[in-house]
Structure 1
Amino acid sequence: MAARTHPKTFSIRRRILALALALLVGAAAVLIAFIHDYAQRSADRAFDRLLAASALTIAGAVQIEEGGIIVELPVASFAMFSGRDRVFHAVEDSSGRVVTGYDDLAAALENVQGTEPQFADIMYRGELMRVASVARLTSAANAADWVTIHVAETQSEREALSAEILGNAIVPVIALTLLAVGLVWFGIGRMFAPLTQLEEELRARAPEDLSPIAVPVPSEVSHLVSALNAFMARLGNTMDRLSGLVAEAAHEVRTPLASLRAQAEIAMDETDHQALHRRVARIHQGAVHASQLVSQLLMDATVSHRLESKETDPLPLSAVIEDVRQRLDPDAAGRLVLEVPAEAGAAALRVDRVALREMLRNLVDNALVYSTGPVEIRAALSGEALRVAVSDRGPGIAESEKPLVVRRFTRGAAGAGKSGSGLGLSIVSRVVEAHRGTLALIDRDGGGLTVEVALPVAVRRKTRKARRSAAAVGVLACAVLALNPGPSPQAATSTYPAPRPPETTASPILTIVGTTDTPLFARFIAAFQSLRPDVTVVYEETDTLPMYERFIDGTLAPKPDLLVSSAADLQLKLANDGHALAYDSPFLDELPAWARWRNEVFGFTFEPAVIIYNRDLVAEAEVPRTHLRLAELLETQTERFSGKVATYDISVSGVGYLLAAQDQLISSNFWRLANAFGRVSAQLSGSSPAILDGVAEGRLALGYNVLGSYAFARQAEGADIGIVVPDDYVLVLTRAMVIPRNAPNAELGKAFLDFALSPAGQAVAAEETALGAVMAGTQGPWSSEAIAARGRGVIQPIPLGPALLVSLDRQRRTRFLETWLEIASPKP
């Protein structure tokens, strides 16, 4: 028999604590959920106001000129944003035509009417955007129309603010929850003190002491004490019944044993052979009786144990009948007559196998003992019960004796002279009662007795296994053919083979497209390859605006792994429009905040915009050291400097446009200086090296807004040029790196970016290249500190942020270029 498994003990104290903890944690979770919702709503309100303010600022700049809508984006419209989110805008007229901004943003939104901002969340370029839309009423001639302004922003900053509010609120909630748990634990200990007293009372009792517990306990525990007292009362009654049973069993066994002893003693002295034979027959009869009695007592105990253990399994009746029949001798088994239909024989009974077998065996034994003819066993299903009847043609049982014969050691009058113990029907009765069945003793017509037992049938639960077939999912691959027009006339490609290529595989190739002069950038490549000698580097030099346009058009071939440009605004627009791969460089936190945007645009140089001059054409005493002094010099000596001054052509140079746009924001003398360029018929160039060449060769006297890195490097090489770091203000830009989202070897791009920001890369920028180290604390003649010390003006870095996107607005850029070219272009 399998050992009975006992349930594991548990601690009420721990259960209460666990429940209290669950309730406290649940309450804390609900509170945190409320705080989270509040934090989100608060962040949304704050940033929605910024969005609305940006849209209203743009709306205030909407004008009507010559019947057309003109919008010149104010810098403040984007400068109010934090810089970590991507920003998009669109301005539409009443017909839905996009005046300026992003066409696809306007297509995703509807026109609005009314000056109250309307907000919406949309998916745009793969990210969730929050959009503020306002309308501005404009009138021209006899008509008035609404102009719609949309400003969209990603939601990183508002999520960060929400997380910060939530984080600050969670700390006291957790602290209070832990304090409450401690108080609950202390309170539970105090509450369980009476149970400890009750335990001590029970341990001190003698084993035979089953008297009621009289220890005073709280009302909550009184039910437990009452149940324990009732249990001990029942246990006392059980012990009394058990003692009575033992006494009765001892008495019943003592009588046949005493008779056997007496008969044996007499037989020992008997000399008559016939008499001795009779004595031995009586001894045999008494031994048989005693054996049956002992067997019945043992079986009674076995059945009692089996019924208490309640080990039941579904069991078909036919199997039990066959088991009983096999235990009979052949003559007795031959007297059985079975009338068991197949349906009834297969019916499963959820009963103990041994108990059911002994119940049926006792019924059959009684029928065989008290009758001489056939014994019939019939079975039939009746609803949810199975009825089993055992019938004989014996003397039967008197009606008055039927309630008595189911008791222990009680037999009817018909049992006189028959061997028996008086336990058979008692066992049958207890088995039937334990299985919630019924027992009936029925007299048969014509004499005899039928004992009918009704037992509940086990309900079979049919379970069906669901079969699911897996469908194969096919993946279609599409081949995209791209045109490869080759490099543009402005581009020059250089290849730097790996110093130590891998022996077993091809050398990995890093492709960089940049605007830095190849001889300068080659020094970065050489220093990088000293750390990664297995990498081949392909560097394509081009100009800022063509690089941006070719990348947008998809005509850069091969596809670059890294884009490097001094036109930081164009790099920022690439990232803002979703073309940059995010990368958390290990040097990101050390990079000045103004020299990075999110984790997509990284500045690595420190380059001031300077004024250069030819020492032979401009005397040291008359060198202009401020922007105003430069304008005055050109205004007063127009003929002398006619055709001798150069600056960027901002219509073709991205970095030139960036510097001009920033000059216009800072300097109140910008348009005066632009007018002075026009008066002297300034030469407009697409790059700093071209201007440097003209000044160094004497064809030009002055160059304006030349990148200091090129100027310092050319001066260090021996060029006869002077360099002025203006004394009023100094614009400082940084060359920005972007890893394209579709870079073939993005990991190599990341490796080069990390090198450029590392101390080794910054040392290259601070020394021979003169590009300037952006990292504070870098040693070298061209560190940011050393460069700043060369002038007395305010150092004004051009920060990488959404404000740069204002100058790239389509309409603002067009109007700015038209105005600047009209004023600064050479006069005929």
Structure 2
Amino acid sequence: MKRADAPSLRRRILTLAAVMLLVAAALLVTFIRDYANRAADQAMDRLLSAAALSIAGSVLVEDGAVLVELPFAAFAMVSGNERVFYSVRGPAGEHVTGYPDLAPDAPLATDVGPDFRDSHHNGDPVRLVQLGRLISTSEGTGWVTIMVAETRGARVALAAEIVGAALVPVAVLTVLALILVWMVVGRAFAPLAVLDRALRQRRPDDLSQVDVPVPVEVQRLVGGLNHFMARLEQSMARMGGLVAEAAHQVRNPLASLRAQSELAMVETDSAQLQARVARIHDSAVEASHLVTQLLMDATISHRMDRNEAQALSLSLLVDEVVGRLDPDQRHRVSTVFDPGAAIAVVQGDRVGLREMLRNLVGNALAYSDGPIEIEATLAPQDRIRLAVLDHGPGISDADKGRVLQRFVRGPGVEGKVGSGLGLAIAHRVVEGHGGGLTLQDRPGGGLAVVVMLPALPGTGPAAPDHDPVQAGSSAARLLALVAGLSALLSAGPGARAEPLLFPAPQTETRRLAIAGTTDTALFTPFIAAFQNQNPDLAVTYQETDSLALYQGYLAGSLDPAPDLLISSASDLQLKLANDGHALPHSSPWLAGLPDWAQWRAEVIGFTYEPAVIIYNPTLLPPGTQPRTHRELAELLERDPARFAGRVATYDIARSGVGYLLASQDQQISSHFWRLAAAFGRVGARLSDSSPEIIDDVASGALALGYNVLGSYAFARQAEGAPIGIVVPDDYVLALTRSLLIPRQAANPDLAAGFVDFALSPAGQGIAAGRSALGAVMPDSPGLWTMDRIATMGQGVAQPIALSPVLMVALDPQRRSGFLAAWQKIVDPPQP
């Protein structure tokens, strides 16, 4: 069947342009029609309002009765061709004059301002205005209601006249635009004819670059064509080499198969025949393995060229490869991941990395008899070190470089099925991901295949300084910082009032003061990465509670005076901004931020943290923990003695973020007060610190913690804390830590720079990485992103939007009543 000729590109563009111009003309006419209707209404409404005002001016009161002397000018102001209706009603709604059936259900007037509306009278659409006139009688004061209406004919005619006057230029401009498009398209396509002639004159085997003079706009097409031909030439060369190598390598096992089969056909001795059949089987297995590896080599080369990378967890890939091993071999393989490597993420091709791991593990199993270890650790400069360790004969130094080449096998492989492609494929995959693969001897015998892969930013330790002197000072500074953090953490929450100084990596010329509620240990990576971009900057960070931060700023008691406020209690941040304490900052990253995560460019969120339920797995075995808010209330109601004093939540009177979460819970959940009553029944412990609750749950002092910030819980669990985490299946509140630059900040430019960093891919990478604070920017790479956190529960993820609605709960009377009700139910005073 003959293929129909495709329409010309010129005709396509002209057709598309015609459609777009017609659609644009239709939209323009619709806009003009809407504007004409609004303009007609505005013009006529002024006249209608003037008519009603003139009637209102004629209202009199005589002997307590309302009288109206209708002025002639009243109806002279409206169109002479329209039907006009009017009505006057007294203070009690009694009919005074005019049409008693004009809008009988309309409410009585309460002010002198005109109120316009569309209505119907006697089946005709009318435009109606209503206003009031205040009068005083012996019985008191009251409002007289005046209504005037007219039919819409004059308005429709005026709107039609405006539209008609605009249609002619619209039509003329549309036709001229089509003619212009036709002419421009003809001239624009002329360079394509030159390119077409240059390509048609080429030989079929000529894949050199096209070099013809074309306009800048067509150079992208020529560049793409040249890039494609270069890739095609490379692929053809690779394919030719693969075919040649495959033909050479497959020839030997096939020749062996043929020879052995021919001998077997004439063999009469049964023992010899059986031996030949065994050799035939071995040759077939070798040929099958070789073909499989050749196909995988071609597949990997193709995938590396396509470069289809995605964010992958290396620990999950290792688990997948080990899980697919033969059950008889799986017990020989063990894995050891340090906490950082367990949550590290690489950007790469899933199939390629999986095949690389499978080949390395398969080689270790085939060429050694002892146990196999897979170790993963974090390395400097955001890299992951993965090592496959065996107890085999190893490889000599002379052969270590050779065995990474294709079809090269080391000594001592007799009797082992192989093709010499496994290590070559693994080496190709690692290099394609920007890493390195080395073969190392193990003390005591054995081979270590070490793979270094780049991790996504924020999933590895900070890069070392290249200057030896600076590196030494950085190490000393890091040790001092760790010692300071350890002292703070061991001293408990009450000892964290003193600010912590992060010295500048180089000579200090600037200093940024930050006051925030984020745990210092979790916030340190942000400061370190920001200082890496600004080596002359020193940072002081004062950690405090959300309510203390708010009150301390208003009282001016924060020392040093902060250049930047960071709080998880975004309602308090919003109150500061609403009261004029914030400077706006139009960060270039705001356009990508969700609308709910910023307000007026003054309060800006940079994290995404769910409020979760945590539990002790020993006290609440898997399968018994509550998955919803209702299940939690039912569990505490069903067994109050078991959970007496073993449940904790925020003290909302002392914790700003606790009050925020409780007030949001109360708005969303119909089970809120039931859950509060359950807390009171079991004597729930109240705390103003998520880390404190997590510590007690991990130690077994508590069985459950409610509304704990998920960021702290995820980070502690990754460090090995024995806690379980439930992201509720009915709904989960998600808050964002917000940034605010105080109006009195001494260094607002430095604070603005930190805001930009926190929203940038580098800052969001840290939030989505080891800090577990959660990235708020869509499409951020890493483990802790909005999408991944949403999939951890089956319910609705409800982010707490930064809007003035949050301040309703901060109203003094409302807050006082809410806290009184909460305390009465959850923590009643003891008699």
Q: TM-score range by the shorter chain?
A: 0.3 to 0.5
Greater gyration radius: 1
TM-score computed with the length of structure 2 as normaliser:
0.42
Structure with more contact order per residue of length (Cα contacts < 8 Å, sep ≥ 6)? 1
TM-score computed with the length of structure 1 as normaliser:
0.42
